[in-house]
Structure 1
Amino acid sequence: MKTLLVPYYEHPAERPDAWDAVVAAAPRLYGVVLNPADGPGTAPDPAFAAVAERLRAAGVRVLGYADTDYARRPHSAVVHDLLRHRDWYGADGAFLDQVSAEPGALPHYRRLTVAARAAGARTLVLNHGVHPDPGYAQLAELLVTFEGPWDTYRDLVLPLWTAAHPPERFCHLIYAAPPNARAAAAVHCLVPGTGAHPWGTLPHALEPAR
Structure 2
Amino acid sequence: MNPSLDPFLLVPFYEHPADRPEDWAALLAAAPSLYGVVLNPASGAGRVPDPAFAGVAGRLRAAGVRVLGYADTDYGRRPHPEVVADLVRHRDWYGADGAFLDQVPTAPDALPHYRRLAVSARAAGAHTLVLNHGAHPAPGYEALADLLVTFEGPWDAYRNLDLPVADHYCHLVYAAPPDARPATPVHCAVPGTGAHPWGTLPHTLEPVL
Q: TM-score range by the shorter chain?
A: over 0.9
1:50 matched to 2:49? The reply is no
Structure 1 match to 2:120: 115
Q: How does 1:81-160 map to 2 (within 5 A)?
A: 81-159=86-164
Give aligned-pair identity as a percent.
Answer: 75
Q: Distance in 1 between matches of 2:208 and 2:176?
A: 17
Q: Which one of 10, 31, 51 corresponds to residue 15 of structure 2?
A: 10
Rounded to whole Å, the distance in 1 between the matches of 2:169 and 2:161 is 14
The superposition leaves residues 89-114 of structure 1 with CA deviations (integer Å, 9 ceiling, x where unpaired) of 00000000000111000000000000
- Distance change in 2, residues 1:100/1:23 (3 Å): same
Contact map agreement 2:23 2:207 (CA 8 A) in 1: no
Q: Tell me how far apart the structure 2 counterparts of residues 49 and 209 of structure 1 sit (CA, whole Å).
A: 25
Please give the alpha-carbon distance, in whole angstroms, between the structure 1 residues aligned to 2:141 and 2:98: 17
Matched letter for residue 171 of structure 2: H
The aligned counterpart of 2:35 is 30
Moved over 2 A (4+): none
Q: Aligned-pair distance for 1:179?
A: 0.5
Equivalent residue pairs, number: 204
Matched residue, 2:203: 204
What RMSD over aligned residues (CA atoms) do the two structures have, in Å? Answer: 1.1
Q: Distance in 2 between matches of 1:199 and 1:49?
A: 20
Q: Which runs of 5+ in 1 are unaligned?
A: none
Q: Which runs of 5+ in 2 are unaligned?
A: 1-5
Q: How many angstroms does 1:169 deviate by?
A: 0.5
- Cα shift at 1:207: 1.9
Q: Measure, in 2, the Cα distance between the counterparts of 1:207 and 1:46.
A: 24
> In the aligned structure 2, how far is the partner of 1:74 from the partner of 1:152?
32
TM-score (norm 2): 0.95
Task: Normalising by structure 1, report the TM-score.
Answer: 0.95
